[in-house]
Amino acid sequence: GESVGLHLPTLSVQEGDNSIINCAYSNSASDYFIWYKQESGKGPQFIIDIRSNMDKRQGQRVTVLLNKTVKHLSLQIAATQPGDSAVYFCAENVRSGNTGKLIFGQGTTLQVKP
């Protein structure tokens, strides 16, 4: 399953399929990007991050792709599992004043069907 466009609030996939969650970021000066997973009633949980000098980074079952030309970020989850069901947020760090504060997107809800 794949979310299309700038933002799709909900993505529904079949267990075992690959998921792709997309995110458009706003500031061309952002130099660090991060994906978080948030389950209901819990704080955001770090998944994977990437600096702007890279275009791809892989983790365990997850891959983040960065396209700076079109200011687009994606999270790919391989072999999606029921435990992956959550809201996924992308966030950017705008290199301004070096505070490291994160600007979050709206989030995409991933629903995994057994």
Q: Interface residues with another protein (CB under 8 A)?
A: 32, 34, 36, 41-46, 49, 89, 91, 93, 97, 99-107
**Closest-CA residue to 73 (of 113, 111, 36):** 36
How many DSSP H helices and E strands does the chain contain? 0, 10
Q: Please, what is the minimum distance in Å from the beta carbon of residue 89 to another protein? A: 5
Which residue, 79 or 103, has its beta carbon nearer to another protein? 103
CB of 90 to another protein, least distance (A): 9
Please, what sign has the CA dihedral across residues 30, 52, 67, 111?
negative
Cα–Cα distance list, 4 to 1, 40, 44, 66, 108 (Å): 10, 24, 23, 16, 11
Nearest to another protein of 30, 80 (CB atom):
30
Decide whether 56 or 101 has the Cβ nearer to another protein. Answer: 101
Smallest gap, in angstroms, from Cβ of residue 60 to another protein? 16
